[in-house]
Amino acid sequence: MTHEKAAEKASVTEEASAEKASANEKTVADQAHDAGEKDPGAKRGLRAGPGLALLGLAVPVGLFLWAHASRPAESWSDENIHAYVASRMAAGERLYAEVESARPPLALVPVAALIAAGLKPLVAARVTVVLFELGSALVLLLVARRLWGWPAGMAAVWVYLLAPAVCGSGPFTGIEVVTFFSGLAVALALREKWVAAGLACAAALGSGQHAAVIVLAVIGLALASRRASGLRVAASAALACALLIAVSLVLGGPGMWRQVFGVHTYHLGSGGGGSGGADEAGHFEFFIRAWILDDLPLLLLGALGLALALLAGREKSQARPAAIAAGIGFLHVGVVLGLRGGQSLYFHPALPLLALAGNRGHG
């Protein structure tokens, strides 16, 4: 009898040890999700019924679509240039070889594909803006739902789509594509899906150099992870980027370097160049005006989320993803502030991260 009790006790001890080891292997997102399951309001969105949940999403999406549909096209902007380049790509001309552009290829491919499908160039450009902004909202919905439940996911969609910088934007610049892939990379990193995160990083860089800070932050998260080496995300991102650059060089020739990279090097130096009134003494004043009009609401919300996440007590597992998202977002904003000749649109890739952080920074 004594031996049977000892064996039973040993079995219980082994099971407890196995459960503890399994818990230690959970990702940041899994820990937050498990903590959210204990929250009585975590599934409130589903309990209220799918109709009410759909209505809760339809309102911000409808207002977002109405704002973009009612915005008139500007007589001339960079959007006209990008739409023209995409139309020539749709006609079969080689990017960087037969038609010049300062945008990486993945920023223009969606517009060219829509033009090839039959849309007019400027319409295709606006549709691309709408599709990728809605895509960013979908990423927010899914990651916030996974972390904190449906109400948090719907709140994130409201906050992002109705932000002045998102709802009020119109002309296509390509930054919307960068924002989508950058946000996707961070969302996958929070789930510790490193290979997929690496591919998303490559797509972000293939859409615009504005993703560089966020991509480096994702690689940093991978290096700090206990479950996987950062070499995975770095290798997958490097491989995909190398393939993208190789294909672009084959199709476009050496002109790609001069058009895409060389033209933007003034951001790193003190020489001439720049646009948008952000040069010299008016640099900081320009960004302050842009924040007040467009980015300040999400900036303040992200700062509040970060502060509450850092002050979280027992609910650190829920607050940690918000702190990570806000940290990456503000790191991006800080680098943009240090650029010479920057523009307010360069902040855009940080906006979904700030919306996510501000939505549930309190845990």
Does residue 244 form part of some domain? yes
Range of the domain at 299: 48-264+273-360
Comparison of pLDDT for 27 and 345, the residue scoring more: 345
Comparison of pLDDT for 254 and 64, the residue scoring more: 64
| SS3 at position 162 | coil
Does residue 156 form part of some domain? yes
Tens-digit pLDDT profile for residues 69-96: 887 766 567 888 889 989 999 998 888 8
Which range has the worst mean pLDDT, 2-6, 121-125, 135-139, 222-226?
A: 2-6
Res 251: pLDDT: 60
Residue 363 has pLDDT above 70, yes or no: no
**Is-contact 196 203, C-beta < 8 A?**
no
pTM of the shown model: 0.79
Tens-digit pLDDT profile for residues 153-196: 888 899 999 988 898 777 888 999 999 999 999 999 888 888 88
Does residue 6 form part of some domain? no
How far apart CA 182 and CA 195 sit, in angstroms, is 14
Q: Comparing C-alpha atoms, which of 27, 45, 41 is closest to residue 157? A: 45
Does residue 42 form part of some domain? no
Does residue 35 form part of some domain? no
State phi, psi for 296 to the nearest 5 degrees.
Answer: -60, -40
Residue 43 has pLDDT above 70, yes or no: no
Q: Comparing C-alpha atoms, which of 122, 144, 136, 213 is closest to residue 167? A: 136
Categorise residue 228: left if φ over 0, alpha if ψ from -120 to 50, beta otherwise.
beta
CB atoms within 10 A of CB 185: 32
- Contacts for 180-184 with beta carbons within 8 Å, 24 or more apart? 180/132, 180/133, 180/135, 180/136, 180/139, 181/106, 181/207, 181/211, 182/211, 182/214, 182/215, 182/349, 182/352, 183/136, 183/139, 183/140, 183/349, 183/352, 183/353, 184/139
* Residue 165: half-sphere exposure toward Cβ, Cα within 13 Å: 28
Q: At what angle do helices 121-148 and 50-69 cross, to 10 degrees?
A: 150
How far apart CA 260 and CA 244 sit, in angstroms, is 13
List CB contacts of 7: < 8 A, sequence separation 6 or more.
none
Residue 211 has pLDDT above 60, yes or no: yes
State phi, psi for 345 to the nearest 5 degrees.
Answer: -65, -20
Highest mean pLDDT among 213-227, 234-248, 326-340: 326-340
Does residue 88 form part of some domain? yes
Q: How does DSSP assign 208-222, residue by residue? A: -GGGHHHHHHHHHHH
Res 12: pLDDT: 46
The total domain count for the chain is: 1
Residue 343 amino acid letter:
Q
Does residue 187 form part of some domain? yes
Task: Give the Å distances, CA to CA, from 206 to 55, 168, 187.
Answer: 36, 26, 18
Comparison of pLDDT for 53 and 187, the residue scoring more: 187
Tens-digit pLDDT profile for residues 290-308: 555 677 778 888 888 888 8
Does residue 25 form part of some domain? no
How far apart CA 144 and CA 334 sit, in angstroms, is 25
Token pair 């498990």 is found at 34
The conformation of residue 226, written as its DSSP 8-state character, comes to: S
